[in-house]
Amino acid sequence: MFVCCLLIAPTLRAQDVTEPALKAAFVYNMAKFIEWPPEVLPDAAVFTVCVLNDRQFGEEFERTVSDRLFGGHRIAVRRVAPDGLFRSCHVLYASGITAAQVMAIDAALAGAPVLTIGDTDHFVQDGGIARLFLQNGRLRFEVNLRVARRNRLQINARLLALAARVVDGPPGGRP
Amino acid sequence: MTRVTTLLFLVLSIGASPAIAQRALPDLTLEELMGLDAGRVFGASDRLQPVTEAPASVSFVTAEDIARFGHRTLADVLRGVRGVYVSDDRNFSLLGIRGFGKPGDYNSRILLLVNGHRVNDNVFGQAEIGAEFGIDPAMFERVEIIRGPASALYGDSAFFAVINVITKTGASMHGATMALEGGSLGRSVVRTTGGKSFANGVDVALSGTYERSSGVDRLYFPAFDTPATNNGVARGLDGQRVGQLYAQLAMGHVTFTGAYGTRRKDVPTASFGTTFNEQQFREETTDRHTLADLVYRRSFGKSHVTVRGSYDQFSVDGTYPLSGADGEPLTVFHNVVLGSRWSAGTKLTRAFPGRQTVTAGAEFIDNIHQDQQTGIVGLPDLLLDAPRSSVQGAIYALDEIKFGRWIMANAGLRYDHYEAFPKVTPRAAVVVAPSAGQAFKYLYGEAFRAPSAYERNTIYFGENTLALRPEIIRTHELVWERYTRDWLRTSASTYWYRADGLITLVLDPSTFQGTTYINSGHVRAKGLELEAQMRLGRGVSGQLSYALQRTEDLETGTRLANSPAHVATARVSASGPWSRSSVSLEVLFLSHRQTLAMATLSPAATASISIVMPMGRTFELVGGVRNLLNAQYSDPASADHRQDAIVQNGRTLNVGLTWKVGAK
């Protein structure tokens, strides 16, 4: 009993870190709760994270994953242009884009299993899968489960439980 | 002092032992990452931005820090912040920063904001930071301390620093709590809070607090040590009663914040020449604050619009017993100060991503009441009645331009219009940030403090005070901030400033008070501040700071009163053996200070410890010991006191139990 108390995960208190470093670590950990269809992530494949616009996030993400693997896969970080080819990405991190651009990306992906993560106000309503935002200095996220299902991504229930909001609810839920 | 150092060393060595070496960010769980702070500040540019990009040297304290360290007032929260020291005259708390903490000057050179809205009163210009502030620290989400002049953005009073208190939303509370606390000095507190964020976007937060304490029963003041004045002992005159209500309601683009606070304090020091140890007609003050603030915020593409309308009311009632000569009966004076204002403001921010962010705004303030009245208890007619009012307005603009990938320039200009004078204030900054984790800043800022309605009271101080002009300060500052390997944040800042035309009280036999105010003081200062914040893993975190400062009167070349050369703070917090439990230690050190009578006070070093221990899921036990080693020290007194220094509290204990319902 006593030992179990000592082993309980420590609580961390507020300590400011930089926002790009925090988001990079968050995206890396978030992806662990997502399951991609086996055909887009076969055993020897490189796990590709594409970054649109946010230079600082890209640099931090490269640093974050430089000596790490993702579920046994090597990780590549790629900068992409707004009209780029996203279908070969596993994760697309898009920062500061307009609603029209979000919709254009959603259309270009046409259901390809790409985890789209953004930071603009209506990112998930406009067709993105996960939106990161800061509330009182802390990182929070919301998820559009409908788009995730359509793009054939399985999101672990433990991740959904941490979301500030899940748009469109679980299967069989309210429309 | 040595005992304090040993204690601190002990805690730090536990924290730094290799057994609990820090973990890199990607190795933390999502829950742990969600508990970290992304280091953003609102008050430096009136919009959210990373601390490293802000045109100021910034510190902040979070709700979690406040809970862990058991802070009970805004003054407690600010005490451990780099370069900040607080002195207490057993009625009001005076904030010292950058070596300036003039006794008797009630924080009129600090701008205090609640969610970005000014709450300094409109009679004295005072920022009240003790229990009289009006909002319970349990309802603080964050407190931002933005050093340096900021009048180019905020106008009046943003002279040495801006303190922005961000209050809790329903989303950050998730449920209801009921707390009972008790402790030394007859202190008892009842607090109830509740908050919820509903699925339809409505967010509600509420709280109510009642606190009373009897204070130190026997306070000894050598200045009154005569048989006629109870041998210098003031008995049972240190109590206070505090009531605070807070509510916030957010719906769509609109947020309403309302707060009401009242505090009645007995004054044991016989300030303003009142009768010492008077028991029947006590010297006491009652401060009341009312705040109603409605904000509409909306984004249109890359533009953000804010429209704000607010009503503030402040009042101070005081009773002052004065003995007549030789056995004449006591005369009890009653002073009433009432300030109220409507303010309206609008602001537009437009971002051009990767290039620049432009902000422009305007505000208008109608000071409906800036009234002062003095009467004698039992007499129907007032001795003095000075009802006044005024209006003021301002426009401002701020531009942040990015040059290439690393360099950001920042320029601002504000025009303030007062009935008696206009004022134009500029500021400029260059921020070089080679990476997201490192920044070098050069900051130039000017600020002003307008003469307060109190200082311009011609009945008290004569017609000459109408010629008073704003005091001004010019500050240069170099800042270096660095984040190292996910666990250490270091910051170094060096500044030099010159303040001119400081509004100073001088003798003038021709006025009612026998004194008046003139623009005469000149102060020059330079200083160096260092800070390190670290997260050592296993829930151990710490913060160390040191400030070296030399603030002198230009005419005499001497150091100012209440201006310590060294200010050092250490805060260390460790997670306890049980989940969500913690032990936190705070050590504060001030080197010797001079009083107004040029006496030298010995250095003040205090240590306080605070424990949080959850009991099951619904109860939480808190406890703390302040001034653990029972250090005896005094703070310099103002000219309104016969004492030259005022003794501070020794060791006190506090315990409390919180019942939580529906918390996540």
Q: Cβ contact (<8 Å) for A19 and B535?
A: no
Q: What is the pLDDT of residues A135-150, one digit of tens each?
A: 877 899 999 999 999 9
Give A14's pLDDT tier (boundaries 50, 70, 90): very low
Tell me how far CA of residue A148 lies from CA of A3, A34, A106, B240, in angstroms. 41, 10, 11, 58
Give A4's pLDDT tier (boundaries 50, 70, 90): very low
Q: Cβ contact (<8 Å) for A10 and B33?
A: no
Mean pLDDT (chain A) is 82
Best mutation site among A7, A17, A167 for testing chain B: the one with the most B CBs within 10 Å? A17
User: Which chain B positions have a beta carbon within 8 Å of A157's beta carbon?
Assistant: none
User: Which chain B positions have a beta carbon within 8 Å of A26's beta carbon?
Assistant: 30, 33
Please check the confidence at residue B521 and state whether its pLDDT lies above 90.
no
A119–chain B nearest CA distance, Å: 13
Q: Cβ contact (<8 Å) for B435 and A98?
A: no
Per-residue model confidence (pLDDT) at position B1: 47
Give the angle subtended at the CA of A94 by the CAs of A89 and A98, to the nearest 5°.
130
Q: What is the pLDDT of residues B433-454, one digit of tens each?
A: 888 788 999 999 999 999 999 9
Q: Cβ contact (<8 Å) for A14 and B36?
A: yes
Per-residue model confidence (pLDDT) at position B42: 83
Q: Cβ contact (<8 Å) for A5 and B539?
A: no
The larger pLDDT score, comparing residue B545 to residue B664, is at B545
Q: What is the pLDDT of residues A15-39, one digit of tens each?
A: 467 888 889 999 999 999 999 998 8
User: Which chain A positions have a beta carbon within 8 Å of B63's beta carbon?
Assistant: 136
Per-residue model confidence (pLDDT) at position B6: 57
Please check the confidence at residue B547 and state whether its pLDDT lies above 60.
yes
Mean pLDDT of B628-651: 95
Give B47's pLDDT tier (boundaries 50, 70, 90): confident
User: Which chain B positions have a beta carbon within 8 Å of A6's beta carbon?
Assistant: 577
Per-residue model confidence (pLDDT) at position A12: 36
User: Which chain B positions have a beta carbon within 8 Å of A98's beta carbon?
Assistant: 301
Please check the confidence at residue B391 and state whether its pLDDT lies above 80.
yes
Both tokens of B363, joined, read 């505000």
Across the strands, what pairs with B647? Answer: B634
Per-residue model confidence (pLDDT) at position B5: 54
d(CA B155, CA B427): 12
Please check the confidence at residue B630 and state whether its pLDDT lies above 80.
yes
Per-residue model confidence (pLDDT) at position B14: 45
Measured from the Cβ of residue B398, the count of other Cβ atoms closer than 10 Å reads 23
**B80, B147 contact by CB (below 8 A):** no
**A166, A148 contact by CB (below 8 A):** no
Q: What is the pTM of this model?
A: 0.89
Give A87's pLDDT tier (boundaries 50, 70, 90): confident
Per-residue model confidence (pLDDT) at position B409: 95
Both tokens of A131, joined, read 């939106």
Amino acid identity at B217: D
Q: Cβ contact (<8 Å) for B171 and A135?
A: yes
Per-residue model confidence (pLDDT) at position A5: 30
Per-residue model confidence (pLDDT) at position B663: 57
Per-residue model confidence (pLDDT) at position B399: 95
Grouping H, G, I as helix, E, B as strand and the rest as coil, residue B78 is helix
User: Which chain A positions have a beta carbon within 8 Å of B28's beta carbon?
Assistant: 12, 25, 29
Please check the confidence at residue A86 and state whether its pLDDT lies above 80.
yes
Please check the confidence at residue B27 and state whether its pLDDT lies above 90.
no
- The ipTM estimated for the assembled molecules is 0.85
CB of B576 within 8 Å of a chain A CB? The answer is: no
Mean pLDDT of B321-341: 88
Q: What is the pLDDT of residues B577-626, one digit of tens each?
A: 787 889 999 999 999 999 999 999 999 999 999 999 999 889 999 999 99
Can you count the helices (H) and strands (E) in chain B? 6, 38
Nearest to A17 among B25, B30, B48 (CB): B25
Complete DSSP assignment for A56-87: HHHHHHHHHHTT--BTTB-EEEEEE-TTS--T
Least confident of A152-161, B84-93, B535-544: B535-544
Mean pLDDT of B398-411: 91
